[in-house]
Chains A and B, each alone.
Chain A
Amino acid sequence: MAVRMTPLTRAARSPRLRWTLADIVVVAYALAPVAWLVSLSVKTPATVSDRNFLPRQFTWDNYARIFTADSAEFLRPLLNSIGIVVISTAVAVVIGAMAGYAVARLEFPGRRAVIGVSLLIAMFPQASVISPLFEIERTIGLFDTWPGLVLPYVAFALPLAIYTMAAFFRQLPGDLEKAARMDGATPGQALRKAIVPLAAPGMLTAAILVFIFCWNDFLFAISLTSTESARTASAALAFFAGSARFEEPAGMLSAAAVVITVPIVVFVLCFQRRIVAGLTSGAVKG
């Protein structure tokens, strides 16, 4: 590949150095907005408006405040978020795994319909259901409740769960159930004995992806809740900002935003390979 190089700098000539420089640019690209929030969240009230990227004076006050004095404004929504998203994730992964198994390993007439419906939902603009859902949930009493958010979260996360699980089940050896069936097991027993014990890794991947997906929601959260009883953390952020009680909310808002980001960072650090594999298998091949 070393064909007639024009006199470049030494740095550019070494591929390792060039890649390292490019890596640094990518790391800066990905982390700058997060670093900026962290920086704002630890700035003191006197320096929060100094427009410097890095803080000159440190304080943990913003974190202390969002977790104590103004707990109703952030702590309760944070608990709502955790509860609603964990429940949604569990439900979506279990029923998504069931459908994913059927799609991947069973012969049945409605297979393409299942794939078609979930594909449709995956492409669905959520704005096109907020008006009717708002009306329906108010009528049947689900508005501003946990189930009122769990339902749409599960529905819209299901395609992701189904694709991830179908991709996972498809790469398991083909004759797993056959052996069980030889022994006279019904398809249901074969599933329980041969597949369920092996499903954990796939379900973990699906759970991480679904959690990230539901944790990210904002439109449903602000449309289908109105009080602290079901408002999620990301929705609370938006109302925080409007609150007149804080003369300079940037610091506290940033602290809350950083807290919301912690689970994402933990997942990314612990499960990087799983997330990449899950996203590429479900998205490109599925």
Chain B
Amino acid sequence: MSEPVTPAAKAERKLALLLCAPALLVMIAVAAWPIIHAVVLSLQRYDLRFPGEREFVGLGNYAAVLSNGFWWTAVGVTVVIIGVSVALELMLGLVLALMMHRSLVGRGVVRTVLLIPYGIVTVVAAYSWLFAWSADTGYLSRLFGPETAPLSEWGPSLVIIIIAEVWKAAPFVALLLMGGLALVPADMLQMAAMDGATRWQRFSWVTLPAMKPAIGVACVFSTLNAFRIFDTIFVLTRGANDTGSVAVLTYNNLFRGLNLGIASTMSVLIFLAAALIVLVLLKVLGVAAPGDEDRGR
């Protein structure tokens, strides 16, 4: 990039900045500014029921949240949901991707119907699961045993929350993985087959390595998606019986507790956790962030 800046290049730069300005402005105003504002609020005692007692308390809110049992329960629940649903989404997603990629019959049908879980409003799907498992209406409600109300118990509730989450996210993971399947070199598979490699060997030696970047992207997506989980839990349990994720706990502190200081503290902690998750995943998986080395490869 050491060529002298020609007038044409200058005009191009000006145009580019003009074109990007509105998008950058909105993204910064609605995301970056609130995050900074959240940091400011998190350093204050700010209870909407007692606005007169608003004052600077330093890191007091952080001490309060980080020593609070409810917070750590929510963190635990979120971690469990992430761990289980990411594993299930990757496995189910791979199966679905293979079907979309290879099915001899009705490939179009499979691709079309799998867009329904992807597209359906999360809250709508959650209501379907809620009614399916509710003791009074549900066709699935006796699955955990007769005369039980699965959504009023901790274990069954979490299982149902995870089912709902995986059902919705796995098809999208499958789409991401299908993109990776298209990159698997067909001639390598053929050569391996001629060399007598079994179906499983071909899969684990040729297909999986070729799909590594796609699997990485799918991992990042499904982890962050599970980390954000809110709608499903809100509808199914509202976070009762220790089933709330960190997002649900934040919402409850804001709108039931009306404690803006504490809720903002949780907001900041959630933001930091997400940043940490992204950094760790990018390191562990060796996924190049899109935009690193000239995009697209």
Contacts and interface: CB of A to CB of B under 8 A. Distances in A.
Contacts of A115: 290-291, 295
A86 B231 CA distance: 22
A10 B271 CA distance: 55
A70 B35 CA distance: 39
A187 B11 contact: yes
Given A23-B110, A136-B37, A119 B289 contact: yes
Interface in B269-284: 270-271, 273-274, 278
A232 B286 CA distance: 40
Contact of A26 (B113, B124, B271): B113
B63 interface: no
8 contacts: A15-B104, A27-B113, A119-B289, A124-B31, A130-B250, A170-B296, A218-B123, A283-B175
Interface residues of B, number: 103
A16 interface: yes
Contact of B24 (A117, A125, A253): A117
A136 B37 CA distance: 8
Given A96-B23, A114-B24, A131 B250 contact: yes
A234 interface: yes
Of A33, A152, A237, A257, chain B has the most CB atoms within 10 Å of the CB of A33
Q: Which of B31, B250, B274 has the most CB of A within 10 A?
A: B31
Interface string B236-268: 000000000011001100110000100110111
Contacts of B172: 279
Contacts, number: 316
Contacts of A106: 12-13, 15-16, 19
Interface of B: 8-9, 11-13, 15-17, 19-20, 22-24, 26-31, 33-35, 37-38, 41, 96, 99, 103-106, 108-125, 127-129, 131-132, 134, 136-139, 141-142, 167, 171-172, 175-176, 178-180, 213-214, 217, 220-221, 224, 227-228, 230-231, 234-235, 246-247, 250-251, 254-255, 260, 263-264, 266-268, 270-271, 273-274, 278, 289-291, 295-296
Given A131-B264, A187-B12, A238-B234, A114 B23 contact: yes
B16 A108 contact: yes
Given A112-B291, A127-B230, A283-B179, A36 B115 contact: no
Contacts of B138: 51
Interface residues of A, number: 102
Nearest to B227: A125
Given A131-B254, A276-B115, A19 B132 contact: no
Contacts of A111: 16
A178 B254 CA distance: 54
A40 B106 contact: no
A90 interface: no
B121 A215 contact: yes
Nearest to B183: A284
